[in-house]
Amino acid sequence: MDKRTLGRNGLQVSTLGLGCMGLSYGYGPFANEELLGEALAPIRDEVAIATKFGFSAGDTRLGLDSRPESIRAVAEASLNRLKTDRIELFYQHRVDPNVPIEDVAGTVAELIREGKVKHFGLSEAGPQSIRRAHAVQPVAALQSEYSLWWREPEKEILPLLAELGIGFVPFSPLGKGFLTGAIDARTQFSANDFRNIVPRFSEENRTANAGLVDVLGRIAEGKDASRAQIAIAWLLAQQPWIVPIPGTTKLHRLEENLGAASLVLDATDLSAIEEALRRIEIAGERYPAHLQQRVDR
């Protein structure tokens, strides 16, 4: 697979990443890192591992905590579970309003000097936080949601990243599965599925948003591709420093997603997509209200 570079300090990664949360979702980050550590050990030097800090004891249920001592503790625990001596990309999971972002960046800078971390990342951070952090320790990548049905980053975030030389890693590039066409108004999610509490996935909003899936289907037919491949290829075409991380637990979906990396959308294709989307208004918020408050603006 081709490579892309995140940030100005030379972090080279594959054109597509793999979002791994779903591999053990519901069992916490600890089982997830242990699983990855075991799986990647034989090929450790061939992959770039990204993980996060920013919650108390690494547990999202316990609230935000990016105090320097907590960052260090999470780093050591992650290194142990991942069975590795370095983390290529260490993200702050969410901006902590109780800890100056300069202190966060400074602590990660120390870990970088010690060789335990290679590059610093932020997740869902707003423009001012990004600028302040970057002034202390260059930020290699920002990880936030971006897709054909969530284009908010285009307003302020993408221009800022271009200015500062920061890469962008979109999570949920397939709209949590909606853009694949596999979900419609009749779909029933399992009881523990996060989408049950996401406003955008209410039955009413799934019906309202079906037009976007129809548009993707028509474009996909013309390119002999799947909807998922079109959605990912569209992201890749936006900037050469964008690296989506679709997640999956199925091998055939992984292979399908990888096919997007070789799918070229030319200016005519992109204009057609843009024109079609201009006529569609996406319905529903991407997060329930209590989670939306965690996103730094």
Specify whether 27 is catalytic.
yes
Task: Give the start-to-end residue ranges of the domains of the chain.
Answer: 3-292
Average pLDDT over residues 190-215: 86
Q: How many residues does the chain have?
A: 297
Out of 27, 91, 146, 287, which one is annotated catalytic? 27
Measuring CA to CA, how many Å separate 137 from each of 103, 104, 156, 185?
10, 9, 21, 46
Give percent above pLDDT 70 in the chain: 96
> In one letter, which amino acid is 200?
R
Using an 8 Å Cβ cutoff, are 51 and 169 in contact?
A: no
Q: Count H helices and E strands in the chain, helices first.
A: 11, 7
Using an 8 Å Cβ cutoff, are 136 and 102 in contact?
A: yes
Distance CA(180)–CA(206), nearest Å, equals 13
Q: What is the pLDDT of residues 237-267, one digit of tens each?
A: 999 999 999 999 899 999 999 999 999 999 9
> In one letter, which amino acid is 83?
K
Count of CB atoms within 10 A of residue 158's CB?
Answer: 19
Superfamily (CATH H level) for 3-292: NADP-dependent oxidoreductase domain (3.20.20.100)
Distance CA(144)–CA(125), nearest Å, equals 8
Which tokens is 79 given?
């290194």
- Three-state SS for 108? helix
Say what the pTM is: 0.92
